[in-house]
Every structure is written in C-alpha cells, then in structure tokens.
A = this chain, B = another copy of it.
Amino acid sequence: MTKGNTMDFTEKTMRLTHAGVMKMLEAAIARATEAGQPQCIVIVDASGETLGELRMTGAKFLSLKSARAKARTAASIRAPSANIPEAVRAGIPAATEGNMTALPGGLPIRIDGHCLGGIGVGSGTGDQDVDVANAALAAIGADLC
C-alpha cells in the first residue's frame, strides 16, 4: 500500500466561534422581544452538534425540541428546513427518527460559500420563526434566506 498525499485526504473549511454563537443568540432575543413573541433558539455546527441553545422566558418548552430538529435539518441540507422536497416530506421525519423536519424556522449558516451549521427557532408562527433566525444570521454577516 502506497502512502497517499495528505492533500487528498483533507480539505479546508470554516467553523463558528462561540463569540459568533453568543452574537446570534443576542440578536435572536432582541428580534423576538421586539416582535413580542418569546422563542426557543438552537444553533448547531456543520455536523449538527449543538453549539448553543436558549429558551426565552415564556417560550414553549417543547419548541426547544422542534427548534433543534429545524437547526439540524438546515445544517444537513444546507438550505431552509421548509425546502424539504415534496417527494420525501411525508416519509423523511420517521426515517430519521424525527431529526429531519420540513417545519419552517430552520436556516443554514452560510458565510463565504461555506455552510458552518444551522439555526432553528420555534414557538411563534413560521414567519416569526424565520424572521428571528434571519436576524441572528444578519448579526454575524451570514447569508440571509
């Protein structure tokens, strides 16, 4: 067996720092407060592992679970959770043990062409959830959805 070139086995990428995560949480809280709708906010990395979570006073505690599914879905498909194709929309939640969801409120965190993870927001209407997620993306200079 010949020893391969390390170049073939690795590639460069980017990740979010905790300064970025805290900035996103603060911006999400500010926007949710403005809208008068307390929210659950979950931020995950590019592999879906949790980076930060916050349940605002008055938010629905079970929405922390759906916010997590939204964040993980967006990070996995590198697109809004609501973009799940029609063909798999019925079957995919069970086939992924509830990890994947087509509920609106999950957005990918994209900067300079890299997907660094996902944010999921839940407790409000779909529109409110997406609005809060976008406020968090804007705060760190990530692409809006």
Interface of A is mostly: mixed
With a CB–CB cut-off of 8 A, which chain B residues contact A131? Answer: none
Interface residues of A in 6-31 (CB under 8 A from B): 6, 8-23, 25-27, 29-30
Contact A91 B62 (CB under 8 A): no
Q: Does A77 contact B (CB under 8 A)?
A: yes
Chain A stretch 85-117: residues in CB contact (< 8 A) with chain B: 85, 87-88, 91-103, 111-112, 116
* A72 interface neighbour in B17, B53, B62, B87, Cβ under 8 Å: B62
Would B1 and A9 count as touching, CB distance under 8 A?
Answer: no
Chain A interface extent, by class: 35 or more
| A69–B94 alpha-carbon span in the complex (Å) | 9
A50 within 8 A of partner (CB): yes
B22 touching A49, Cβ below 8 Å: no
- Whether the pair A25, B22 counts as a contact (CB closer than 8 A) is yes
A residues contacting B by CB (< 8 A) are 1, 3-6, 8-23, 25-27, 29-30, 38, 45-57, 60-66, 69-70, 72-73, 75-78, 85, 87-88, 91-103, 111-112, 116, 125-126, 138-141
